[in-house]
Structure 1
Amino acid sequence: MISVFGSANMDLVAYTGRAPALGETVTGHAFRTIPGGKGANQAVAAARAGARTAFIGAVGDDALGPQIRAALADAGVDVSRLRTVPGPSGIAHIVVEDSGGNSIIVIPGANGTVTGPAEDDVAVIRRSAALLLQLELPMDAVVAAARAARASGRERPAVVLTPAPARELPAELLQAVDLIVPNEHEAAAITGETDPEKALAALLATVPEAVVTLGGEGALYGSRGSAPVHVPAFKVEATDTTAAGDTFAGALAVARTEGMPPERALRFASAAAALSVQREGASTSMPTRSEIDAFLTVSGGNP
């Protein structure tokens, strides 16, 4: 089982030819409300990629909370540890350009009330093969979840961190992380290195394994004591890149818990991300296991 401790939002998505500059108004051509949030997205991605998945987080007692909960449940995610708290649910305002690029403003709402895993949450984490973390919850809560995973004993879950939004990472968090998965911009912000290979090397000074995603250029994997591995991206026409990174992280966690070696796991995650960017939305864009397997079969497993 994979557990995800993270954020759950409702995405308010505007589609337009180009995003407005400061003070400018542009006309869009579509608007959608889509359940999202980096934590919820990764949970949906993992569940659709074939893993039994549990989500730990919070939604508000507003009209959006039940919609977010239902979307997770419909994707096959266990929402028994998704609690409802007074106040609004988390919101993300997203502008998607016709090129597929996006800009996002996140308003935490209920996510900001999460202070750490409750006792029952810890029990779920300790039964998991992997724990997925991101940084849209308060940092103290993320550290507490990582601490709970690390205290699980010999068979503790692998802790996979997506350090987004990028910020300074506490030493206690890094000490508990087994695999960190930033994109190239997050890796640069964390390490101060703009060259992805140098950033990867800097990350490996603090964690055992790292993957730096490079968008259309693929992904770079490294572990301590081994040479970096670059896996190119599958060449597809992007419609909407929202949550491509979350799709990649969720699918990568599934691949690793199934025992796939790193290069094969990266191809599996890259295939999932390639499928997602061809569709609109965050959680709505994420492929099923059968779709990922079919895509890899048609491509021969190679980008």
Structure 2
Amino acid sequence: MGRVFVAGSINMDVVATADRHPRVGETVAGHEVFYFPGGKGANQAVSAAKLGAPTTLIGRLGTDAFGHDLKTFLAAQGVDLSYVTDTAGIHSGTAIITLANADNTIVVVPGANGFVSADDIATVALAKGDIAVSQFEIPLATISAFFNRARAAGATTILNPAPAIAFGAELLDLVDVLILNETELSLLAKTELRDSDEPARFIEAARALRGDRDMIVCVTLGKRGVVALADGKPLVVEGRAVKAVDTTGAGDCFVGAVAAQLAAGKSIRDALDYANIAASICVQRMGAAPSMPTAAEVKAFRRPGEGRAP
């Protein structure tokens, strides 16, 4: 079995719940405040680890109280923290989240995450069969260095380009599996997409973004499921009807689950089916990293025959 290495952000999520989101300049009364471990890197690492993959997280924390609490939580989830560095004089990454009717708005303050550098990944021992995962809450130059090392070692690279920002083709050239939502695909493919569009529209945009690269493109559509372009052929994974409580970590759960399944040698179709189930469990719980399901929970949640290639 391969290993999963995640280079990414580690945040404390400060979550306020309310009946609705405030408009610009407006104050609304909230109900509760929660403190949840989060950050896209940490979330994806916890997802992969709880689903059974040997998982290492590469990142930075401040030497503040949040940093201590985050490290304690991640270690308890079975994540290897050998490459998580404490950074003096800088606060740990923090996300301010408003949650209303299962939808969220998020403001991320990078803190120590902004200092993750190529030096942090210089000694990471990647090998063929391993999975290297990253996202856009650490510097792009660091991601490029990480993926270059992964490619040289024969590892598979997974990029989750979120939060959505424009980036160069040279980074995309290093990506084996691109996992993104319709908003991110709209930005990168320079086309207008809506979550209600037919699957063919997303496949068309994915094909344009892929170009002549040998890259798998997976587009997550929330409750509608997933559409993907693999080996130039479209794949559609139907969504599952569940009562969502908090969607904050769903995309990260999906990415971590795909990474864990690919590390176990599963096909991309099997990995997408499995990740879709895992994410549908995640949204039924509060919090980001704490909502990630275990392999046993995914197994119990499957319908007969689900999660296997046709």
- TM-score band (shorter)? over 0.9
Please list, as runs of the form range in 1=range in 2, the aligned pairs for 1:27-176 lying within 5 A after superposition: 27-86=29-88, 87-97=90-100, 99-118=101-120, 121-123=123-125, 125-126=126-127, 129-152=130-153, 156-176=154-174
Contact 1:174–1:207 (8 Å) recurs in 2: no
| Cα drift, residue 28 of structure 1 | 1.2
| Distance in 1 separating the partners of 2:177 and 2:128 | 19
**Aligned counterpart for 2:175 among listed residues 169, 174, 177:** 177
List per-residue Cα deviations over 1:164-210 (Å, max 9, x = no partner): 01112222211111000011110111111323122211232145111
Alignment of 1:259 with 2:261, yes or no, is no
Q: Residue 198 of structure 1 aligns with which residue?
A: 204
Q: Distance in 1 between matches of 2:45 and 2:133?
A: 8
Whether the 8 Å CA contact 2:133–2:158 is kept in 1: the answer is yes
Distance in 2 (alpha carbons) for counterparts of 1:51 and 1:109: 28
Say if 2:215 is the partner of 1:208: yes
Q: 1:175 is aligned with what amino acid?
A: D
1:5 and 1:301 map into 2 onto residues whose CA distance is: 31
Distance of aligned partners of 1:186 and 1:207 in 2 relative to their CA distance in 1, 3 Å threshold: farther
Secondary structure in 1 matching 2:124: helix
- Retained in 2: the 8 A contact 1:3–1:128? no
CA distance in 1, matches of 2:43, 2:151: 24
1:18 deviates by 0.8
- The aligned amino acid for 2:270 is R
What secondary structure sits across from 1:188 in the alignment?
Answer: helix
Amino acid aligned to 2:10: A
- Closer, same or farther in 2 for the Cα pair 1:2/1:91, shift >3 Å? same
Matching residue of 2:10:
8
The answer to whether 1:218 aligns with 2:221 is no
Cα deviation for residue 300 of structure 1 reads: 4.4
Pairing partner for 2:294 from 285, 288, 294: 288
Aligned equivalents of 1:150 and 1:247: distance in 2? Answer: 24
8 Å CA contact 2:121, 2:146 repeated in 1: no
Please tell me whether the aligned partners of residues 179 and 207 of structure 1 are also in contact (alpha carbons under 8 angstroms): no
Residue of structure 2 in register with 1:240 after alignment: 246
Q: Deviations over 1:133-179 (max 9, x none)?
A: 10100111111111111222xxx110000000111222221111100
1:119 and 1:15 map into 2 onto residues whose CA distance is 37
Q: 1:301 aligns with which of 290, 301, 306?
A: 306
Equivalent residues of 2:203, 2:229 under 8 A apart = no
SS at structure 2 position matched to 1:176 = coil
Residue by residue over 1:252-275, the C-alpha shift from the partner in whole angstroms, topping out at 9 and shown as x without a partner, is 111122222222221100010000
Residue ranges of structure 1 left out of the alignment (5+ in a row): none
How much does 1:128 deviate? 6.3
Given that 1:204 and 1:223 are in contact with CA atoms closer than 8 Å, whether structure 2 keeps it comes out as: no
Counterpart code for 1:76: G
Flag the 1:188–1:224 CA change in 2: closer, same or farther, 3 A: same
- Give the C-alpha shift of residue 126 in structure 1: 3.9
Q: Corresponding residue for 1:186?
A: 184
Identity of aligned residues (%): 41
User: Conserved in 2, the CA contact under 8 Å of 1:59 and 1:83?
Assistant: yes
> Are residues 1:268 and 2:266 paired?
no
Q: Post-superposition shift, 1:281?
A: 0.4
Question: RMSD value over aligned CA atoms?
Answer: 1.5
Provide the rounded CA distance (Å) in 2 between the counterparts of 1:89 and 1:140: 20
1:207 & 1:165 partners in 2: Cα distance?
Answer: 24
